[in-house]
Structure 1
Amino acid sequence: MSDVEFLKSKGIKITKARLVIYDMLKQADSSITADYIYEKCKELGIDINLSTVYRNLEALELKDIIDKFDLGEGRNSFAIKKNKHKHTLECNLCHKEIEVPCPMQQIEEMVRNQTGFVLTEHKLVLKGVCEECKINDGKCKKMTE
C-alpha cells in the first residue's frame, strides 16, 4: 500500500507537507522533533512553517499513526507507531490477569534522547492488587469462584 493510500485509509487529507512529514517519520531510525522536521524541510527547499509541521504532527497523532514522546522541558519527539505488545498484570491475591499496553516505548525514547543508548530488549514485571480485592479487603469474586 502506498503512503497516499495508507493515509487516505486513515481518513487523512493528502497534502504535500503531510506526505513529506510522514515520509521523514517513516525513514527516521528513532523519534524526531518538529524542529528537526522543520529544519530538514528548509534544507531540502520545501516551503513550510513550523506551525504547519506541528498541525500535521497533531493530525497524524489524532489518527493514531504516530506516537508523541514527552522529552521533558516542553519538548516532544514523534515516531511512526510500532506494533505494540502488551504486558499482563496479575493480582497478588486473586490472580486475576489484566492486559495493559507496554509503557516501555516512552522510556526507550527518553533513554535514546538523553544517552544515545538504544535498547534492544526489555523485561517488565508488574505486580499489584486488583481494584476489587483492594475494595473488599483482599476478597474478590474471582477468589470465591
Structure 2
Amino acid sequence: MRALEALKEKGIKITKARIAIYEILTKNESSVTVDFLYDECRRLGLNLNISTVYRTLEIFEEKKFVEKFYLGEGRYSFAIKKNHHVHKLECSLCHKEIEVSCPMQHIGELLKTQTGFTLTEHKLDLKGICEECKHKDKE
C-alpha cells in the first residue's frame, strides 16, 4: 500500500486517519481545505474529530510532506508536496544567478480559489540587483 510506505518513509506514525488523509490528498489534483478533508474522512466512515485532521496536517507539514497555502481571510489549503521546482534570479548588473523556490504553486492555488482558473503552465523571469551590486552602487 503506497500510503503506508510514504508515511513510514517520513517517520510518521501509522493511523487510519493519517492513511485516509494521505490518500485524499494524493487523489486531489489541487490543494484541499481542512473541512474538505474532514468531510471526506467522515464519508469514508472514519469517526474522528476535526482536531485530528488539523494535528495530522501539522505533522505532515513538520515532516515537509505537505505544502500549506494561505487563501486569505484566515483560510488555508493543503497539498502533497510535489517535485521541488526552482527558478533562477539574475542580477541585472553582474549577471550572478541564484536559485529560488518557485512561488507559482501558491499563486496557482490563490487564483483557483479566487477565480476558478487552473494554471497549466507558467513562465517566470526574475531579475533584480544583488546585495553586492547594491552596495557598490552606494559607494
| Interval of TM-score (by shorter of Structure 1 and Structure 2) | over 0.9
What 5-or-longer segments of structure 1 have no aligned partner?
A: 140-145
What 5-or-longer segments of structure 2 have no aligned partner?
A: none
Corresponding residue of 2:37: 37
Corresponding residue of 1:102: 102
Per the TM alignment, residue 6 of structure 1 is displaced from its structure 2 partner at its CA by 1.8
User: Could you tell me the TM-score, scaled by structure 2's length?
Assistant: 0.94
Matched, 1:68 2:107: no
User: Could you tell me the TM-score, scaled by structure 1's length?
Assistant: 0.91
Larger Cα Rg: Structure 1 or Structure 2? 1
Corresponding residue of 1:134: 134
Q: 1:25-76: CA deviations, max 9, x gaps? A: 0111211000111112222221011111000011001111111000000100
- Once the two structures are superposed, the pairs formed by residues 1-145 of structure 1 within 5 Å of their partners are 2-137=2-137
> Aligned partners of 1:86, 1:26: CA distance in 2, in Å?
22
Letter of the aligned partner of 1:54 in structure 2? Y
| Aligned-residue identity in percent | 62
Letter of the aligned partner of 2:121 in structure 1? E
How many residues end up aligned between the 2 structures? 139
Q: 1:9-30: CA deviations, max 9, x gaps? A: 1111111110010010011121
Structure 1 runs (4+) deviating above 6 angstroms are none
> Aligned partners of 2:85, 2:44: CA distance in 1, in Å?
36
Letter of the aligned partner of 1:49 in structure 2? N
What is the CA RMSD across the aligned residues, in angstroms? 1.4
Contact preservation (8 Å) 1:93, 1:138: no
> Aligned partners of 1:89, 1:37: CA distance in 2, in Å?
36
